[in-house]
Structure 1
Amino acid sequence: MAARYSIFRSIIRNGSKERQGLLRSFSSRTEVANYQFDERDSEPSTDATVSDDLRSRILRLRLPKRSATNVLHRWVSEGNDISISELRQISKELRKTHRFKHALEISEWMVSREEYDITDSDHAIRIDLMTKVFGINAAERYFEGLPPSAKTAETYTALLHSYAACKLTERAEDLFERTKEANLSLSAVTYNELMTLYTSVGQLDKIPSIYEEMERQEVAPDLFTYNLLLSSSAASLNIDEVQRILEKMSGQSDPDESWLRYINLVKVYISSGQLVNSDCNSLVESEKSITQREWITYDFLVILYGGMGNKDKLDQIWKSLISTKQKMIGRNYACIIASYLMLGHSKDVKEILQQWKQSTTTEFDVSVCSRLLSAFGEVGLSEEAAAFHLLLLDEKVLTD
């Protein structure tokens, strides 16, 4: 039984790449500085059907090597004003489309001009952009160079988020201690960042102590906090702890609909061996608006019933999940594949591999399968590893 739970710990640890995503960044300041600006990009459009405002000019800069700074200079030289609210909105649109270099140029323009009243949020966004464009060291230097008045809970949390994204555990822990020494009023977001980091590096045993610190400081947890707590409990199938967390969630004052849905979803599965509805699809199909943060609940359910050896429930959960419109990631597939393998149902694993390869919502990831195969070997499940290896060869996922 211990080996079964160890494989899920490995899945959670190795699934972080899918959750964190890839940073689309440039390697150095020199690389960005060496880009040549194309003067044509700053010229007003002569097409009467095309808008010629500042936003449109910047959004037309498709390539990162084109300079948003030059567009701003030209706009001002033409006698136009630029409000900080306009710059913030343009930056938001750029970040949403992963155009981080142009967004950083907007940020640089804002902070370099005395007429603008820069907020903590502006500094926090700049730290995140610095990380994505120039790397974590540049973001760290920017933070350290801020005046004491700007080193607030928001900017500390922004740098902590960057450390977490780069999986720099020691630097994140040191920074977290600095935030406590600074006697800042922290929110759940700050604690969540550190717990997310521990989840991504597989140090789930550290999560409860962070939550205990939240309780001591009387910081109210949010839904994501509870997601992380349930994740750490699910790794060891500590059902008593899950029940305690659910009771804590139920005791929140005026919980919103998403919280109630989340609580009821888990309670249905751990309180009895029967679904509330006779239609095995109705529970998950009715929850089409669930967020990506809530998806870890379903991984928990798969882990739970895989460990209990309950194939019927696994079938029901998987059938429900694939009927939703939510996008699944490699970790979701890895959890259900591991469960079926441990129960000796290779045929189901083969069907899931085929579904994953044909999926239109997520790309099939060979590396996830390879990590899962390695994880089985690491925890001594040699028969399961051999069966999975043969399936991967049969499905032409592996070539040797």
Structure 2
Amino acid sequence: MAARSLFLALTRNANKRVPFRSISSTSEAVHPEAIINTSHESEDEEEEKDDLKSRIFRLRLPKRSVTNVLQKWVDEGRKITASDLRSISIDLRRSHRYKHALEISEWMVSNEDEYQVSDSDYALRIDLMTKVFGVDAAERYFEGLPPSAKTSETYTALLHSYAALKLTEKAEQLFERIKGANLSLTAITYNELMTLYMSVGQLEKVSVIVQELKSKNVAPDLFMYNLWVSSCAAALNMDEVRRILDEMSIDLSCNESWIRYIKLAKIYITSSHLVNSDSNSLVESEKVITQRELITYDFLVILYGGLGNKVKLDQIWKSLRMTGQKMTGRNYVCILSSYLMLGHLKEVGEIIDEWKQSATSEFNGSLCDKLVEAFKENGLTDKATRFLVVLSEKGCDLTDELR
């Protein structure tokens, strides 16, 4: 069926892989001050507090200085621990107050002897500098680090910045430097490059990175498997998807969350059989899957399309468009396949119009051809025919084979 042939690319959103955000957190733009206000029971209670975190959060505007607040706290004879700073920084990043979080990072680095700055602190600073000043500033900061601070974490942080901005050439060059540095790597570094390849449509390179990871005896993680499965499914290689799922099940690292993922992934390659089945237990299991495991909206679109849940499908598609991320042909084909499977041709026509008019994603007739072929191959000839009619009505160019 079409759904099993069109389980498509997992990209950051996660912006973005780090931090990962849930569907609910990205479906609506939230002003930082709104987040701040909801973290306190009332404005009056907030004003009454006089701990360091409250003072910092009362700054509100980015132009106001966290450094001044920290210095005043110290001048009052109060102590600031590294744990305090890291905790406040986490809350600031959750509220998208990156400039203030960067000031805390600067304070820690400026007082390195006192706070024993870790590799993770340096890596976080690279990420924050990218968000506040741009990737060029982050790059200069990284290059200026002493050799002892150029670790797998800081290299990976810069690689993440390149990947998030889809700077493929820079990312590949940095990856070669990483390999030449003889560092002890984890799957996270490889995942960054795989995520980049997924986002720019270079699916064939994902498997190459997986093989390199294996050759270095680096332990795979669930995120790596998820990207690998997605790249093969997007290339319509469902036999390889099944093989990877089987490999996952015998991996010594396989745990309960992996097993849940395997069960859900198998929904996509058998989803037409679930439309009229009792699948409540599987739907319930989705609720406990983290956003790190269900990386993108495409993943959920195919799931709920297979389960026949149009209401949820509408919500997820709306959320995806509200993220502000650049839409790809794979995003459109994914939602088209789900609505087609459910027989909602009105929505299919609307999405085709939206795709054709999109300023960020050129209409790709070849992907529509693949969708038609996938429906036919899986015995859904009637839906394929109806889709062709809609394409024709919308003035889409068809190949000679599909006319």
Please classify the TM superposition score into its range, dividing by the shorter chain length: 0.7 to 0.9
Tell which deviates more after alignment, 190-199 or 323-332. 323-332
Give the partner amino acid of 1:214.
L
1:31 equivalent in structure 2 = none
Q: 1:6-155 alignment to 2 at 5 Å?
A: 12=9, 19-20=14-15, 50-113=48-111, 114-155=113-154
Are the aligned partners of 2:166 and 2:200 in contact in 1 as well (CA < 8 Å)? yes
1:236-281, Cα deviation, whole Å (9 max, x unpaired): 2112211221121011125222210111233355479744993255
Are the aligned partners of 2:306 and 2:338 in contact in 1 as well (CA < 8 Å)? no
- In the alignment, the residues of structure 2 paired with residue 244 and residue 93 of structure 1 have an alpha-carbon distance, to the nearest angstrom, of 41
Give the partner amino acid of 1:70.
N
Cα 1:296–1:323 change in 2 (3 A) is same
1:79-113, Cα deviation, whole Å (9 max, x unpaired): 22211221111111111111000010111111112
1:348 equivalent in structure 2 = 344
- In the alignment, the residues of structure 1 paired with residue 158 and residue 300 of structure 2 have an alpha-carbon distance, to the nearest angstrom, of 33
Tell which deviates more after alignment, 288-297 or 62-71. 288-297
Give the partner amino acid of 2:363.
A
Give the partner amino acid of 1:52.
D
Q: CA RMSD in A?
A: 4.2
Are the aligned partners of 2:89 and 2:104 in contact in 1 as well (CA < 8 Å)? yes
1:306 equivalent in structure 2 = none
Tell which deviates more after alignment, 283-292 or 225-234. 283-292
Q: Which has the higher contact order (CA 8 A, sep 6+)?
A: 2
Cα 1:207–1:65 change in 2 (3 A) is same
Question: How far off its partner does 1:51 sit?
Answer: 1.1
Give the partner amino acid of 1:178.
R
Tell which deviates more after alignment, 376-385 or 172-181. 376-385
Tell which deviates more after alignment, 135-144 or 261-270. 261-270
- In the alignment, the residues of structure 2 paired with residue 302 and residue 82 of structure 1 have an alpha-carbon distance, to the nearest angstrom, of 46
Q: Does 1:329 align with 2:317?
A: no
- In the alignment, the residues of structure 1 paired with residue 46 and residue 236 of structure 2 have an alpha-carbon distance, to the nearest angstrom, of 64
Q: 1:209-224 alignment to 2 at 5 Å?
A: 209-224=208-223
1:353-397, Cα deviation, whole Å (9 max, x unpaired): 99x9xxxxxxxxx6797379843446575865454589xxxxxxx
TM-score, reference length from structure 2: 0.72
Tell which deviates more after alignment, 161-170 or 75-84. 75-84
Aligned length: 343
Q: Percent identity?
A: 55
The gaps in structure 2 that reach 5 residues or longer are 19-42, 322-326, 370-387, 397-403
2:363 equivalent in structure 1 = 375
Cα 1:60–1:301 change in 2 (3 A) is closer
Question: How far off its partner does 1:352 sit?
Answer: 7.6
1:396 equivalent in structure 2 = none
Q: 1:182-331 alignment to 2 at 5 Å?
A: 182-253=181-252, 255-267=254-266, 270=269, 274-275=273-274, 278-295=277-294, 299=298, 316-319=306-309, 322=312, 329-330=320-321
- In the alignment, the residues of structure 1 paired with residue 360 and residue 280 of structure 2 have an alpha-carbon distance, to the nearest angstrom, of 28
Cα 1:143–1:340 change in 2 (3 A) is closer
Are the aligned partners of 1:143 and 1:151 in contact in 2 as well (CA < 8 Å)? yes
The gaps in structure 1 that reach 5 residues or longer are 24-44, 304-312, 357-365, 391-400
- In the alignment, the residues of structure 1 paired with residue 245 and residue 356 of structure 2 have an alpha-carbon distance, to the nearest angstrom, of 31
Question: How far off its partner does 1:315 sit?
Answer: 5.4
- In the alignment, the residues of structure 1 paired with residue 393 and residue 212 of structure 2 have an alpha-carbon distance, to the nearest angstrom, of 44
Are the aligned partners of 1:121 and 1:155 in contact in 2 as well (CA < 8 Å)? yes
Question: How far off its partner does 1:334 sit?
Answer: 3.2
Are the aligned partners of 1:125 and 1:158 in contact in 2 as well (CA < 8 Å)? yes
